[in-house]
């Protein structure tokens, strides 16, 4: 099928250069003319039935962005390719949101890549034409009509499969996978931070656009929102289409969402399914594997559903025992040991692929230990129940860690006063020197205790008595001071400064910095 192509740019030399890139005689593209701005382009589209528009983003009278908006408002059913310069990224992103297929940089245009982009748009147009034919009951050669008949009820079937935990015999979707289709399923989790919360209402439409551009040549694609942060994306290809690599598709979904829509997502991808039973099996695997996306490290972003979670191994159990033992000798700084042990348990769970459910149970057990340690002075004053609910609701390891730290702050506020041990010890001076020298590293109380030759509980006690601060508070004071110095030079990004001072967790760094200086780190001004 031949497709008419219109070139839109305010510079004649650019219009000519773009025209010469296309192999008109050797391809299925027909030159429909050129226009110097959006107004002229709209007029030509209405008169000549253009299929593909190649447009500049910045033009007089009507720019490329407004042209795209007008075309979409008028029901344009073709495809649009945007040409841009390096500094046009924000405009390009907006154009893609409005419905453009893709963009290319003017300075990097080459015939091979340009023809590939045109062919991708042609494939999409082929698919659109095929769908129209199917709705008119004239199915393309090799396409089973039963697929069209069952298409409208496919999402309900997918929802049922996604939610089920038993075998697939419960589904009777006759014709659902007829015609030798190969089906691929993806679980997509939207970043559950403040930005993600603002975007979640729009993400269904965003996902539809991503799928439309990504799965060119597919027989059908469905995007379903299954809960607040979770989406299911399923696509089907004919068996005669060249092999699809699910991991590559998953990574492209992540990259396109970030690049074009500024949305951060994580994706679980499945192997191909050829019938309802294998599809149901893959979707159950998705459900099991997505628990690992709770952890930001080491599997951020893209995950195979072949990754398996565990209920904990010897190393995790050892870390859990250390958490339970952290309150065996309560004193004024006992919460320091508890917090460090709890954070270490979270890291160990990520390292050992422990299911978040198991981790949360262990942390909740630690919270009950706090509530029932009378020596902390909070037995009757502190309510553990809200914190148990916070832990259960945590959607990521970063949020869980943040909750642990906030819990410790509250416990410290509730705790009774202990009789201080007044002394000035060489071990404390050595400990402060150690912290000053090692603040950029992952310092633990155990490290400091070994260095000065004291037990961890006793070191915490004498350090607090001599300095008036806990070891962790003292260390964070050093780190925040150093971070402020770095940011005030204007030579560091917030992320860089956080890593330099030994706090790679952005949530924790921002919270500490704002608590210490009263401003967010991004708002620090140069003197």
Domain extent at residue 387: 314-472
CA atoms within 13 A on the CB side of 454: 19
pLDDT attached to residue 37 = 93
**What pairing do the DSSP bridges indicate for beta strands 102-105 and 79-84?**
parallel
DSSP 8-state class, residue 489:
T
The residue among 472, 504, 521 that closes a domain is 472
Whether residue 412 lies inside any domain: the answer is yes
pLDDT attached to residue 66 = 93
d(CA 293, CA 298): 10
DSSP 8-state class, residue 228:
S
Cis peptide leading into residue 8 (ω within 30°) = no
What CATH number should be reported for the domain holding residue 198? 3.30.70.270
3-class SS of residue 304: strand
How many residues does the structure list for the chain?
527
Handedness of CA 425, 333, 337, 372 (dihedral sign): positive
- Number of CB atoms found within 10 A of residue 523's CB: 12
Q: How many domains does the chain divide into?
A: 3
**Residue 186 contacts residue 236 (beta carbons within 8 Å):** no
Whether residue 144 lies inside any domain: the answer is no
318 and 271 belong to one structural domain: no
286 and 162 belong to one structural domain: yes
d(CA 393, CA 435): 34
**What pairing do the DSSP bridges indicate for beta strands 220-225 and 230-238?**
antiparallel
d(CA 339, CA 361): 16
Q: Which residues pair with 186 in a beta bridge?
A: 233, 269
What CATH number should be reported for the domain holding residue 58? 3.40.50.2300
197 and 73 belong to one structural domain: no
Q: Which residues pair with 105 in a beta bridge?
A: 84
Whether residue 118 lies inside any domain: the answer is yes
The residue among 249, 277, 304 that closes a domain is 304
214 and 83 belong to one structural domain: no
d(CA 299, CA 23): 43
pLDDT attached to residue 415 = 60
pLDDT tens digits in sequence order for the chain, 527 residues long? 899 999 999 998 889 889 999 989 889 999 999 999 999 999 899 888 899 999 999 998 899 999 999 999 888 989 999 998 766 777 887 888 888 888 888 877 888 888 988 988 888 888 777 655 544 444 333 333 333 333 444 566 666 667 654 334 333 344 455 557 888 999 988 865 555 455 556 677 777 777 766 777 777 888 887 777 788 888 888 877 666 788 888 888 888 777 766 778 889 999 988 887 888 889 888 888 888 888 875 445 788 989 888 888 899 999 999 998 888 776 656 788 899 899 999 999 988 889 898 999 999 988 888 877 766 666 555 678 888 888 988 878 888 988 898 888 888 766 644 343 444 688 888 898 899 888 888 888 889 999 999 888 888 888 888 887 888 888 888 999 889 888 888 888 888 888 899 888 877 888 888 888 888 888 887 76
335 and 235 belong to one structural domain: no
pLDDT attached to residue 146 = 31
Whether residue 139 lies inside any domain: the answer is no
Query: In whole angstroms, how far apart are CA 420 and each of 41, 143, 477?
Result: 81, 82, 22
Q: Which residues pair with 29 in a beta bridge?
A: 3
- Kindly report the pTM of this predicted structure: 0.54
Whether residue 279 lies inside any domain: the answer is yes
d(CA 359, CA 316): 9
pLDDT attached to residue 418 = 39
Four-point Cα dihedral 106, 108, 112, 118, nearest 10? -30
**How many angstroms from the chain centroid is the CA of residue 498?**
20
DSSP 11-76: -HHHHHHHHHHS-TTTSSEEEEEEESSHHHHHHHHHHH--SEEEEES--SSS-HHHHHHHHHHTT-
160 and 199 belong to one structural domain: yes
pLDDT attached to residue 35 = 92
183 and 295 belong to one structural domain: yes
Whether residue 335 lies inside any domain: the answer is yes
Per residue in 481-499, is it b (16+ CB within 10 Å) or e — as a string?
ebbbebbeeeebebeebbe
Angle at 56 between CA 55 and CA 59, to 5 degrees: 120
What residue has token string 């003197």? 527
The residue among 428, 452, 472 that closes a domain is 472
Whether residue 436 lies inside any domain: the answer is yes
200 and 324 belong to one structural domain: no
In 164-275, which residue ranges form alpha helices assigned H by DSSP?
194-214, 246-261
- Rg of the chain taking only CA atoms, in angstroms: 30
């Amino acid at each position: 099928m031949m497709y008419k192509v219109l070139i839109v740019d305010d510079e004649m030399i650019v219009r000519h250069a773009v025209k010469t890139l296309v192999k008109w005689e050797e391809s299925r593209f027909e030159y429909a003319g050129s226009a110097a701005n959006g107004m002229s382009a709209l007029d030509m589209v209405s008169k000549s039935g253009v299929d593909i528009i190649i447009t500049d983003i910045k033009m007089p009278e009507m720019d490329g962005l407004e042209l795209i908006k007008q075309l979409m408002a008028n029901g344009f059913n073709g495809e649009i390719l945007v040409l841009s310069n390096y500094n046009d990224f924000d405009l390009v992103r907006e154009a893609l949101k409005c419905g453009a297929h893709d963009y290319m940089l003017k300075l990097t245009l080459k015939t091979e890549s340009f023809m590939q982009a045109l062919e991708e748009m042609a494939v999409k147009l082929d698919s659109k034409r095929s769908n129209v034919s199917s709705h008119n009951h004239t199915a393309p050669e090799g396409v089973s009509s039963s697929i069209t008949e069952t298409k409208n009820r496919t999402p309900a079937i997918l929802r049922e499969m996604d939610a089920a935990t038993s075998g697939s015999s419960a589904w009777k979707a006759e014709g659902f996978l007829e015609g030798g289709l190969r089906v691929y399923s993806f679980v997509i989790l939207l970043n559950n931070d403040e930005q993600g919360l603002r975007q979640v209402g729009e993400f269904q439409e965003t996902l539809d656009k991503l799928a439309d551009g990504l799965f060119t040549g597919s027989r059908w694609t469905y995007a379903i929102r299954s809960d607040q942060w979770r989406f299911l994306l399923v696509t089907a290809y004919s068996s005669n289409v060249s092999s699809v690599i699910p991991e590559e598709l998953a990574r492209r979904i992540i990259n396109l969402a970030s690049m074009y829509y500024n949305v951060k997502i994580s994706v679980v991808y499945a192997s191909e399914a050829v019938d309802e039973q294998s599809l149901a099996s893959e979707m159950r695997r998705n459900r099991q594997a997505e628990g690992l996306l709770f952890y930001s490290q080491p599997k951020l972003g893209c995950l195979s559903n072949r990754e398996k979670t565990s209920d904990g191994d010897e190393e995790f159990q050892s870390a859990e025992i250390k958490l339970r033992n952290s309150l065996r000798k309560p004193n004024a700084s006992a919460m320091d040991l508890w917090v460090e042990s709890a954070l270490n348990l979270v890291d160990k769970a990520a390292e050992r692929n422990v299911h978040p459910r198991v981790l949360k149970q262990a942390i909740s057990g630690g919270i009950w230990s706090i509530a029932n340690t009378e020596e902390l002075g909070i037995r009757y004053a502190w309510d553990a129940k809200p914190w148990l609910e916070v832990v259960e609701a945590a959607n990521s390891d970063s949020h869980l860690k943040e909750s642990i730290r906030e819990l410790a702050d509250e416990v410290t506020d509730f705790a009774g006063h202990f009789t201080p041990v007044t002394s000035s010890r060489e071990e404390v001076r050595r400990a402060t020197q150690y912290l000053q020298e090692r603040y950029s590293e992952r310092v633990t109380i155990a490290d400091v205790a070994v260095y000065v030759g004291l037990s961890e509980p006793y070191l915490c006690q004498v350090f607090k008595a001599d300095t008036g601060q806990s070891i962790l508070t003292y260390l964070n004071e050093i780190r925040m001071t150093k971070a402020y110095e770095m940011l005030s030079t204007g030579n560091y990004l917030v992320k860089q400064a956080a890593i330099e001072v030994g706090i790679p967790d952005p949530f924790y760094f921002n919270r500490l910095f704002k608590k210490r200086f009263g401003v967010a780190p991004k708002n620090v001004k140069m003197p």
